[in-house]
Structure 1
Amino acid sequence: MAQSRDGGNPFPDSGELDNPFQDPTVIQHRPSQQYATLEVYNPFENREPPPAYTPPTPAPATLPPPSAPAVQSSRKLSPAEPKNYGSYSTQASAAAATAELLKKQEELNRKAEELDRRERELQHVALGGTGTRQNNWPPLPSFCPVQPCFFQDISMEIPQEFQKTVSTMYYLWMCSTVALLLNFLACLARFCVDTSSGSGFGLSLLWLLLFTPCSFVCWYRPMYKAFRSDSSFNFFVFFFIFFVQDVFFVLQAIGIPGWGFSGWVCALVVVKDNTAVAVLMLLVALLFTGIAVLGIVMLKRIHSLYRRTGASFQKAQQEFAAGVFSNPAVRTAAANAAAGAAENAFRAP
């Protein structure tokens, strides 16, 4: 039987157990004036406006001591002022590298041009060799009955390292031709002033008609073929004939009276008779002098190039023998001579 509450019943009544909010731990957390809840909390009630914003006071700048070096402030460079991208050694190395690259580029371009020239030459050979190429020198019009006699293309047939030398010799030949023409006109003018100089006028015409084609065939073409095919035989022919040509250049510049050359001596002699003719002859003498000097210089230069190519007199002899025996006319004549000699030997008693 249950005991009463006052009598020390340890079990509470059923009514107290049915109400969980009567627990002291819950009752002490009920809303009160001391604890604000969400229902009674008003964020806009009794709220003061925030204070106005005041920027912070910057700290005073401290100047460096007088003994410390002042740091140079950065400034904007003007367009005309050069920029410093590094030390002098760095710039020098960059410039040297650039120069080396440019040098290699020039060498590659030169090799490309050489390969292009050889390719064009091989194409010509594939089409039939030199026989299919049309001659283009001298450049004559199509209606002229005389056709060109030679094929000449310095950029295609001559190696690039020798093109400048061959072109200079070609210009030298043209200058000598022009000088002979002016020499003929100067001698003609002198003959008009002094009829006793008819022999000089006749020789000047002979030199013009003789030296113009012979110089091209006898020393320019051997030089051209020597550089084209590295021929020792043509080098020797050129050296021999062009040396004689240089001697004539010197004689033309001197101008011995009666030889048909309007050189310095003849020009000084004519000064007493006619000043205008003397001035013309002096110009021709000056042109002859320049040609003579250039001819001597080019002879020495080509000789130095010849020594670097490895040519020799024995090689020239071999080329000459090979060229003679490869000629069909020479082979036919030699065969006929041998057949005739053998027939005579059998017929002999």
Structure 2
Amino acid sequence: MSGYDDNPFADSSNVNPFQDPSVTQVTNSGLDHIGQFNPFPENQSGSISGQTIPASTVPSQPAVLQPSTDPSPKATVAAAQASLQKQQEELEKKAADLERREQQLQSRGESTGKENNWPPLPKFFPINPCFYQDFSEEIPREYQRICKNIYYLWMFHCVTLFLNLLACLAYFTLAADYGVDFGLSILWLILFAPCSFMCWYRPIYKAFKSDSSFNFFFFFFVFFCQVVVFIIQSVGIPKWGNSGWIVSLSIIGSNPAVGAVMMVVACFFTACAVLSVILLKMVHSHYRRTGASFQKAQQEFSQGVITNRTFQTAATSAATSAAAGTFQTTN
């Protein structure tokens, strides 16, 4: 009953708060708790992490708006001239590259033995062959026959022109007034023999060789004109230098020998005209099966003109002259 003897309502003025056991335990331990207190613990340094950004040491400058100015005409012309000069240098580089490739191709051709073999001239002759021609190697088999026939037509045409010269010479021996025909016959032989080879035989050879639409169209245009010339020569208009039917029939009564020679030449001209019409139709039928077209011919022509070195030089010089003239007028 002793636990109930204390009066809870007794006066507490004599109670000492420092006599509390919890307080006395701390004060009597002898440790300096204030000295051990560290407001900056070591583990707190890890909580402050992150990259610090230093302040810029370069002083900032205020933005200044530059006034916009249009380029002057002189600057425009100078820029255009510089662009043309750059294009000219590029064209010259391409031309040099093309020339180098052409030389390489020529050297390859010489190394493989593909030397020019036409016309077949002897080695002691001062003029060398100008073209390489081989039907079995360069022309496809299905086109070799017609290409050879056109070549034989050209040879027959040259023989006819030579016989025409002899007939006109015989005609000139009868009377001095017929010297015009003899002079024109010499001109036709000198003019038509090489021109026909270059203008319609070589184009058709290249057309069959490389399936070139441009060469096909060029052949059709020139060879049609050649057919018209064959017809005129076979007719034999007087004073035109042709031993055709009109002239041969007019002279055969007075001089049968000369008239007969001229009539043979008229037959040759007629045969040339007939054969040319037949071959023209045959070439046209082959052309329709090759897939050539006018658009391809235009593309081949434009590419050939652009890659031509002479055209490139002329175009660049004209553009440079025009730019220089514009620059002088602006000054």
Q: TM-score, normalised by structure 2?
A: 0.65
Distance 1:339 1:193 in 2: 63
> Residue 253 of structure 2 aligns to which amino acid in structure 1?
K
Residue 257 of structure 1 corresponds to 238
SS state at 2:157 partner: helix
What percentage of residue pairs aligned between the two structures are identical? 56
Distance in structure 1 (CA, Å) of the matches to 2:305 and 2:106: 26
Q: CA deviation at 1:338?
A: 2.9
Aligned to 2:259: 278
Distance 1:308 1:162 in 2: 11
For residues 235 and 245 of structure 1, do their structure 2 counterparts lie closer, same or farther at Cα, with a shift above 3 Å needed?
A: same
Alpha carbons of structure 1 residues 298 and 130: separation in structure 2 relative to 1, 3 Å: farther
Q: Once the 2 structures are TM-superposed, how far is the Cα of residue 219 of structure 1 from its aligned partner? A: 0.8
Letter in 2 for 1:314: Q
2: CA distance between counterparts of 1:197 and 1:243?
Answer: 30
Contact 2:109 2:115 in 1 (8 A): no
Tell me the alpha carbon deviations over residues 106-155 of structure 1, each in whole angstroms, 9 at most, x when there is no partner.
Answer: xxxxxxxxxxxxxxxxxx96962589732111111111111111111111
Residue 177 of structure 2 corresponds to which residue in structure 1?
196
Matched, 1:234 2:215: yes
Higher helix proportion (structure 1 or 2): 2
Q: Distance in 2 between matches of 1:274 and 1:341?
A: 67
Equivalent in the alignment of 2:108:
128
Higher relative contact order (CA 8 A, sep 6+): 2
Counterpart of 1:269, as a letter, is S
What SS class does the counterpart of residue 258 from structure 1 fall into?
coil
The match for 1:305 is 286
1:332 offset after TM fit, Å?
2.5
TM-score by length of 1: 0.61
Q: How does 1:1-349 map to 2 (within 5 A)?
A: 128-129=108-109, 133-347=114-328, 348-349=330-331
**In structure 2, distance between residues paired with 1:253 and 1:167:** 24
1:40 is matched with none
CA distance in 1, matches of 2:284, 2:106: 34
Single out whichever of 325-334 and 305-314 deviates more from structure 2.
Answer: 325-334
Q: Tell me, in whole angstroms, the C-alpha distance in 2 between the residues paired with 1:289 and 1:139.
A: 29
Structure 1's 318 and 131: CA in aligned 2 closer, same or farther, altered over 3 A?
farther
Deviations 1:80-103 (A, max 9, x none): xxxxxxxxxxxxxxxxxxxxxxxx
Structure 2 residue identity aligned to 1:138: P
Change (3 A) 1:182 1:309: same
Deviations 1:18-45 (A, max 9, x none): xxxxxxxxxxxxxxxxxxxxxxxxxxxx
Once the two structures are TM-superposed, the CA of residue 236 in structure 1 deviates from its matched residue by 1.0
- Hey, what's the Cα distance between the residues in 1 that align with 2:231 and 2:106? 46
